[in-house]
Structure 1
Amino acid sequence: MPFRLLACCLLCLLPLVTQAQGFARLAELAEDGFRIGAEARLLGNGEPGETLGSIEPRLALSPASVSKVYVAAAALDRFGPQHRFTTRLVGTAEPDAAGVLDGDLILDGGGDPALTTEDLWRLVQRLHQAGVREVTGRLVISQWRFGPVTCITTDRCEGQHRVDNAYSALLSSAAINYGNWCVTVAPARMPGEPAVVTSCDSQTRLPAIDNRVETKPDDSGTRLTAERLTRDGADVMRVGGQISTNAHPREIYRTSSDPAGQTAELLMAMLDQAGIPVAGGAVTTALEPPDTAHRLAAVDGEPLQELLLRTLNYSNNFMADTLALDLAEVPRPNLVQAGDAIEAFARGLPGHGEVRLDSGSGLTPENRTTAAGVNVLLESLFRRPALFPSFVAALQSPGNGVMRFIRRGSETFQHHVMLKTGTLNQPVTVRAVAGYFRTRTGRWGVFSVLINGTASTPYLSWSTVLDRLSVDLDAMIASH
């Protein structure tokens, strides 16, 4: 009798043991104090699929940049894969027979997350084609949809004055180049001379440049530092270090302190180069162009499916948060209100559960979701054949993804998985990863892993996480 009772107990516990074993290697991280939420399951034919592994799948944790799969899904649901954001140039008057626009020229920022210098050049060319040769009024950059957006993360708030990165760009519906200035550093002809530092986007030195780079002899190596400072209301790019005489030019990106102001400066320089003077200078505004404004030129951005590939492949924070703001249905939204729109989409997915998203990028450490919730989102996109190809194409395969740190694990893991990662180091460590896998027999599955540290947990490398995850997923893929 005792033996039979023990056997019955073991049989009752078998499903739980099987699920725990599904993430046996990842579960070892709990011994170091990390909080883990994980779930992997097969996708059934319209029915809930078999769960292959789980660790507290309903534990609410920070997803870091895995938040971006939410904004991608919500944007596809709202706009569709072929949606394009439009940026317009309008005038408060029509140009006369001589091409004189006796009024203001207004750039109506359309919230395009990938508006670039090339798009501005196309606008200027089309303005010229429309017959405009002179503007007697001002160049007005209208960010009436949103911007300047109040910062709610430390990196972005500090970036209003000084920044040494490109990922914490400020937000505006009239921003270009992902909210970043770009400078090119090239060697001088002779060692000992200052390097040649120029703007990537204009013959005009925009922004102002503080060049501290020295040219060194051939094969001396190139080591560059750069930070963007703001002095007396103007941006300055300070570049230091060295570059070899035989080195190729290097491009450096740093966020601007005023994205709409950056657009104004670059567009003014382009108009000047195109021979279209603007007498009244440039200003930015939060006011919408008047209903009586005359459309002069317009440019459509890339389709949404292309924007999502850039957003997710490169984990572009500026693009993700701009898309989130585009989704908000309130006037001049802030980032939390943009997150509300994504939350509403997620809560509308049957079985998802509660979620908090204060941003689409995941830069906000207050974001919270669960591994089970992420998998509900992933399955919902899988069930929508008109949207799924655009969604899954924006994820990375470890074997050939643009982020080299994910190129780990076995051949099976590298070529049977598509994923999105998320990383935060402050205020606590976050390593998150979610996506799809294909089993040996061709079945689809979804998986999500959220790992959060505490103030006392040790550093957690991506190699540790991916090496363990690859072993766990390998077993699931091979056995089904």
Structure 2
Amino acid sequence: MTIQISRRMMLAGLFSSAALPAARPALADGPTTKIRPRHRPEGLMERMENGGYPTINMLLERNKISGHSAFALAALSDGQILEGHEAHQPLPPASVAKTLTTLYALDTLGPEYRFTTRLLGTGPMEGGKLVGDLILAGGGDPDFDTDNLGELAAGLKAAGVTEVTGKFFYYGHSLPEARLIDIEQPAHVAYNPGVSGLNLNYNRVHFEWKKVAGKWAITMDARAGKYRPDVTIASMALADRTGPIFTYNDRNGHDEWTVAESALGTADGARWLPVRRPAAYTAEVFQTLARAYGIVLDTPEEMRDLPVDAFQLASYQSRPLSKVIKEMLYYSTNLTAEIIGLTASVARGVAPTSLRDSAQAMSVWAKQAFGLTEVSMVDHSGLEDDSRISTADLVTMLASRQAQDQLRPLLKDINLRKAGKVIDKNRPMTVQAKTGTLNFVSGLAGYVVGPDGTAMAFAVLSGDIEIRKTLPMEQRERPPGGRPWLARARNLQQDLIERWGGVYGTG
């Protein structure tokens, strides 16, 4: 359904509660009494009807996006819907889902929450000797990297430990573990790694190839800013074939990769690959770093439950959750979204066994917290296309006081463009929003402030699920027709924002 202002609708009171769809509750934190039509600037309807701003149908026809395109716009001053099209059509949100995950995590954990990674001992200290086992225990930190792990190794040395007589264990079961986020993604994409309570380098391994004496030399390492230790839990072999570019095999707890030698080209290069066993990967790297401090550890072994008598030897704390989330929203980091969502569910006593369990708990919370009716999430990042939410629900959430206070300050500025190409820094509107992109799915949701200072919440989702279903695995990273479709979807988003700023933000 399209909601578009005309003179007749204005006179009928579009902005009264009676003009909204009967099954739709008022936006969260909006007035509970009937609202009178707000005064509109003189000449508004004439500008719209005389073509000063394109109509909704004109914009949809101009961009010709296959599948569904839905959007909704609401005023922050009173929470009322200003404009919408298929606003109650649930669609995949892609990374726009991270806005919901942000509010779920902040509401549960608080902005000052910190993830803690610990080194624990199980026996007495005799001089510099730990007479017992050493345990590397993860607390879910999604930003933990090799340099941080090096700090933890230094902390162990500073605690006086020079030798460990027992075994070396790692523990990643503070959160449910998953080998990947979405099984329908290509195996080699780094944005679809394993998930664990013990993570490292966003659960990616660095694959590099260089020509040495006319032959390719390849390495797999866990590099960060200071350290770059080689790893064995992930290996790469060259293959004499034209395609596929990569193959993956899970063999005896190791990630075995092959790459088509012909795909390496003629120049040196590198890329990140996903790690499927993050906790074991982290433990192997720690073993290497500890050795650099003179502490020799046994081969890492997995631990399912922490012993009650374990004591802390060293620890590393993450940045506050609000800063972790701000960076997640900027870079759209899928692992971070899954971790903070899982951590929130565990803190609420949900005891999820999978990403889907936790995401469903988040959906229930969203319905209770904001009165949403068209939300059903299967992950926290939006990577799976089975998640659904309507733009009406998104705008309801965004217009809430909670979202305005907690989410809005964390969103990045979105640059508007002139003629769809060059950034127009003189545009008298500001936009803070979260983008979302999958093949044949595109979204943008957040806040727009018009030239006169009118603040509005908006959400735009487009998706062609039928095309997505037909894509073979080898085409899912760069599908035919994907880029032109995405360009049209993004053009629609900008066209709508320009319309809204002109129609509702020029008093």
Helix, strand or coil at the partner of 1:348: helix
Q: Map residues 15-26 of structure 1 onto 2, 5 A cutoff.
A: 23-26=56-59
The residue aligned with 1:199 is 221
Unaligned runs of 5+ in 1: 1-6, 215-224, 401-405
Return the alpha-carbon distance in structure 2 between the equivalents of residues 144 and 8 of structure 1.
60
Q: Map residues 177-256 of structure 1 onto 2, 5 A cutoff.
A: 177-188=201-212, 192-195=214-217, 197=219, 199-201=221-223, 202-207=228-233, 209-210=235-236, 212=238, 229-238=249-258, 240=261, 241-242=263-264, 250-256=269-275
Paired letter, 2:321: L
Return the alpha-carbon distance in structure 1 between the equivalents of residues 111 and 55 of structure 2.
35
Q: Deviations over 1:88-108 (max 9, x none)?
A: 1101113211x1112111112
Return the alpha-carbon distance in structure 2 between the equivalents of residues 327 and 407 of structure 1.
40
Paired letter, 2:375: V
Match of 2:365 among 345, 353, 356: 345
TM-score where L is the length of structure 1: 0.80
Match of 2:79 among 26, 41, 48: 48
Return the alpha-carbon distance in structure 2 between the equivalents of residues 106 and 381 of structure 1.
43
Q: CA deviation at 1:363?
A: 2.0
Return the alpha-carbon distance in structure 2 between the equivalents of residues 253 and 410 of structure 1.
34
Give the count of matched residue pairs. Answer: 438
Paired letter, 2:436: G
Return the alpha-carbon distance in structure 2 between the equivalents of residues 232 and 407 of structure 1.
50
The residue aligned with 1:286 is 304
Task: Return closer, same or farther for 1:62/1:8 CA change in 2, 3 Å cut-off.
Answer: closer
Is the 8 Å Cα contact of residues 321 and 360 (structure 1) preserved in structure 2? yes
Paired letter, 2:194: L
Q: CA deviation at 1:37?
A: 2.0
Is the 8 Å Cα contact of residues 183 and 200 (structure 1) preserved in structure 2? no
Task: Return closer, same or farther for 1:466/1:332 CA change in 2, 3 Å cut-off.
Answer: closer
- Over the matched positions of the two proteins, sequence identity in percent amounts to 25
The residue aligned with 1:434 is 445
Return the alpha-carbon distance in structure 2 between the equivalents of residues 138 and 177 of structure 1.
25
TM-score where L is the length of structure 2: 0.76
Q: CA deviation at 1:23?
A: 3.4
Q: CA deviation at 1:236?
A: 3.5
* Pairing 1:92–2:122 present: yes
Task: Return closer, same or farther for 1:243/1:8 CA change in 2, 3 Å cut-off.
Answer: closer
Paired letter, 2:454: R
Q: Map residues 23-422 of structure 1 onto 2, 5 A cutoff.
A: 23-28=56-61, 33-44=66-77, 47-49=78-80, 51-97=81-127, 99-149=128-178, 153-155=182-184, 163-188=187-212, 192-195=214-217, 197=219, 199-201=221-223, 202-207=228-233, 209-210=235-236, 212=238, 229-238=249-258, 240=261, 241-242=263-264, 250-279=269-298, 281-287=299-305, 289-328=306-345, 329-331=349-351, 333-380=353-400, 385=405, 387-388=406-407, 391-398=408-415, 411=425, 416-422=430-436
Is the 8 Å Cα contact of residues 117 and 317 (structure 2) preserved in structure 1? yes
Return the alpha-carbon distance in structure 2 between the equivalents of residues 10 and 77 of structure 1.
38
Is the 8 Å Cα contact of residues 24 and 472 (structure 1) preserved in structure 2? no
Is the 8 Å Cα contact of residues 104 and 136 (structure 1) preserved in structure 2? yes
Q: CA deviation at 1:261?
A: 1.4
Return the alpha-carbon distance in structure 2 between the equivalents of residues 40 and 283 of structure 1.
53
Return the alpha-carbon distance in structure 2 between the equivalents of residues 303 and 407 of structure 1.
37
Is the 8 Å Cα contact of residues 93 and 389 (structure 2) preserved in structure 1? yes
The residue aligned with 1:222 is none
Return the alpha-carbon distance in structure 1 between the equivalents of residues 11 and 455 of structure 2.
28
Is the 8 Å Cα contact of residues 68 and 464 (structure 2) preserved in structure 1? yes
Paired letter, 1:336: R
What is the Cα-based RMSD across aligned positions, in Å?
A: 3.5
Return the alpha-carbon distance in structure 2 between the equivalents of residues 237 and 309 of structure 1.
33
Q: CA deviation at 1:461?
A: 2.1
Q: Map residues 441-480 of structure 1 onto 2, 5 A cutoff.
A: 441-455=452-466, 461-479=485-503, 480=505
Is the 8 Å Cα contact of residues 147 and 286 (structure 1) preserved in structure 2? no
Is the 8 Å Cα contact of residues 206 and 266 (structure 1) preserved in structure 2? no
Return the alpha-carbon distance in structure 1 between the equivalents of residues 320 and 219 of structure 2.
34
Is the 8 Å Cα contact of residues 184 and 200 (structure 1) preserved in structure 2? no
